[in-house]
Structure 1
Amino acid sequence: MGRLVPAVTRALDILELFLEGDGTLSAPDVTRKLQLPRTTVHELLTTLAARGYLAAIPEQAGRFRLGVRTYQLGSRYAEKLDLAAEGQQVAREVAETCDETVHVAILEDTDVIYIAKVDSTHAVRMVSAAGRRLPAHCTSVGKMLLASLPETELETRLAGRDFVPMTPNSITDPDDLRIALADIRESGIAAEHRESNPDVSCVAAPVRDRTGRVVAALSISVPMIRWNEERETELAELALKGAGELSTRLGHRGSA
């Protein structure tokens, strides 16, 4: 772990003080509670207020409360919690239907992070965990999410990236990836065949929020001993249905 930045630590200490009491504080209150120099406290309060993390209380001169920026951050965090909770429930329903491992994942830069997972009951199944991070180009959920990005944003994310393989079947050429993503946009479904795990294939479908934006992907992973073209088609339809259900729970009302 890198070195902690003292100024950032002090700013966060100040914000956390507002979790106590009535949620209002003055500069002298902060100085007393944190034992910091008055000048330092004044500068930090001024900076936090200028950035919207604190707001002056007009009717109480010299006192502050939490600002709108903290509400925005909290709301974004709550959105992710809702997605994870709803994703886990839908993943469970999909897994009960097909008895295979189901994941829900989000995109972060050029990686995917699994936020929900339900295991198959079969003895032979995929070993993974919620919270795991994998390169997007090696997974069906990742390719689905990359394919859903606007072209300019996709190119920005891919620029200068090394496409490190996870298996011999992983895509390592940027042009091959672009072709695969174009096919996904056309079909509306993503698949990967032994690209992240030499013994597993997957299919994935997009999850949309109330605005229609793709915010996650739902996948079904199957060991190769239970995989064939017919099974792939069947599971692709189920992934689309599950992703559609999760989208509905997130407020999406239009067609995918």
Structure 2
Amino acid sequence: MARVVPAVIRALDILELFLDRSELSAREVNERLDLPRTTVHELLVTLVERSYLIAVAGQPVRYRLGLPLFQLGSAFAGRLDLVREAQIVARDVAAACDEAVHVAVLDGADVIYLVKVDSTHPVRMVSAVGRRLPANCTAVGKVLLSGLDRASLTAVLAKEPLAGMTPQSITDPDRLREHVERVRAEGIATDVGESDVAMRCVAAAVRDHSGAIVAAMSLSAPIIRWTPRALREWTELLREGASTLSIRMGYPPARR
């Protein structure tokens, strides 16, 4: 069995400290990782030698990330394939709940479905990859709208009258804006018969390496299987699935 190299682990631990700080001093690195001072010094010197860290001008014991990390990150981002990664995660989520799972992106005031994994139940959601629906009528759409800044959201809502698909659809711009603000705060959206009176959906955001919402993942089920207990379980499952896909798209995992 291959052996993990402790020095490499420690060097990576140092680099990961910069995920939430633009600069760190040698003393701060030492305090955060609780490593011997000489070990930290040697690791920092090595990282600077390879330009993974750069000493701040005029402050030789203070550091920031170097250009090679940007180059590596850009190479990684350039090889990411949202559809491929989404299919992998959506299959896992669907297998865990046996309900339909979708991944969609925003296109103007509409959503376009990129990925669909069906349930095995005879009664299930009718949808298709490539289908376009009004964002205001869907759970994925509301999540994606919540990722827009307020000016961009206002511009989308002002373009044309909001389409309605059922009597439950939110077609009033002011009401939708308030609804999207709640989704932005809660990080989850639901569709209670707004795109299909017989169906219910819950959706969560998928983020990329910059933290921007680039897609939304939803779980859909007919009303006959939509119970309070199921909703709680599915919401948690969906949050985990969207988080997993976000990490696969380069979003840093939450520190524990």
* Alignment partner, residue 235 of structure 1: 234
What letter is aligned with 1:107? L
Q: CA deviation at 1:160?
A: 3.5
**2:38 alignment partner in structure 1:** none
Per-residue deviation, 1:161: 2.0
- Equivalents in 1 of 2:165, 2:174: separation in Å? 18
For residue 216 of structure 2, what is the amino acid of its counterpart? Answer: A
What secondary structure, in the 3-state scheme, does the structure 2 residue paired with 1:204 have? strand
Q: 1:231 to 1:173 in 2, by over 3 A?
A: same
Count of residue pairs brought into register by the alignment: 180
CA positional deviation for 1:219: 0.1
Preserved CA contact (<8 Å) 1:102 1:220: yes
The answer to whether the 8 A contact 1:208-1:214 is kept is: yes
Question: 1:89 aligns to what?
Answer: 88
Q: 1:80 to 1:158 in 2, by over 3 A?
A: farther
Question: Do structure 1's residue 250 and structure 2's residue 249 form an aligned pair?
Answer: yes
Match of 1:45 in 2: none
- Give the corresponding residue for 2:215: 216
| Runs of 4 or more above 6 Å deviation | 78-81
Q: 2:206 maps to which residue?
A: 207
User: Is 1:130 equivalent to 2:129 in the alignment?
Assistant: yes
Separation in 1, partners of 2:134, 2:159: 15
Change (3 A) 1:87 1:179: same
Give the Cα–Cα distance (whole angstroms) in 1 for the partners of residues 93 and 177 of structure 2.
Answer: 30
SS of the aligned residue for 2:210 comes to coil
User: What are the within-5 Å matches in structure 2 for residues 38-77 of structure 1?
Assistant: none
Q: Is residue 2:157 matched to residue 1:158? A: yes
Structure 1 residue 228 displacement after superposition:
1.7
User: Percent identity, aligned pairs only?
Assistant: 53
Distance 1:146 1:205 in 2: 12
Q: CA RMSD in A?
A: 1.9
Deviations 1:98-152 (A, max 9, x none): 0000000000001000000000000100011111000000000000000111111
Residue 81 (structure 1) shift:
7.6
> Are the equivalent residues in 2 in contact too, given 1:109–1:157 (CA < 8 A)?
yes
| Partner of residue 121, structure 1 | 120
Aligned pair 1:100/2:83, yes or no? no
> What are the equivalent positions in structure 2 for 1:188-203 lying under 5 Å apart?
188-203=187-202
Q: 1:177 corresponds to which letter in structure 2? A: L
Counterpart amino acid of residue 95 in structure 1: A
Residue 179 of structure 1: how far off its partner (Å): 1.2
Secondary structure class of the residue paired with 2:81: helix
1:148 aligns with 147
SS at match of 1:167: coil
Query: Which runs of 5 or more residues in structure 1 are unaligned?
Result: 1-74
The TM-score, its normalising length taken from structure 1, stands at 0.67
Measured in 1, the distance between the counterparts of 2:109 and 2:79 equals 18
- Name the amino acid aligned to 1:117: K
Letter in 1 for 2:215: A
Which letter maps to 1:234?
A: E
TM-score, length of structure 2 as denominator length: 0.67
Whether the 8 Å CA contact 1:212–1:254 is kept in 2: the answer is no
SS in 2 for 1:157: helix
Amino acid corresponding to residue 211 of structure 2 in structure 1: G
Structure 2 distance, partners of 1:97, 1:177, is: 32
Query: How far off is 1:254 after superposition?
Result: 4.8
**Residue aligned with 2:166, SS:** coil
Contact 1:113 1:133 in 2 (8 A): yes
Q: Provide the rounded CA distance (Å) in 2 between the counterparts of 1:216 and 1:103.
A: 10
Q: Output the CA distance in 2 between the equivalents of 1:125 and 1:85.
A: 24
Contact 2:80–2:249, Cα closer than 8 Å, also in 1: no
User: Given residue 224 of structure 1, which amino acid in structure 2 is its aligned partner?
Assistant: I
One-letter code aligned to 2:95: E
Structure 2 unpaired stretches of 5+: 1-73
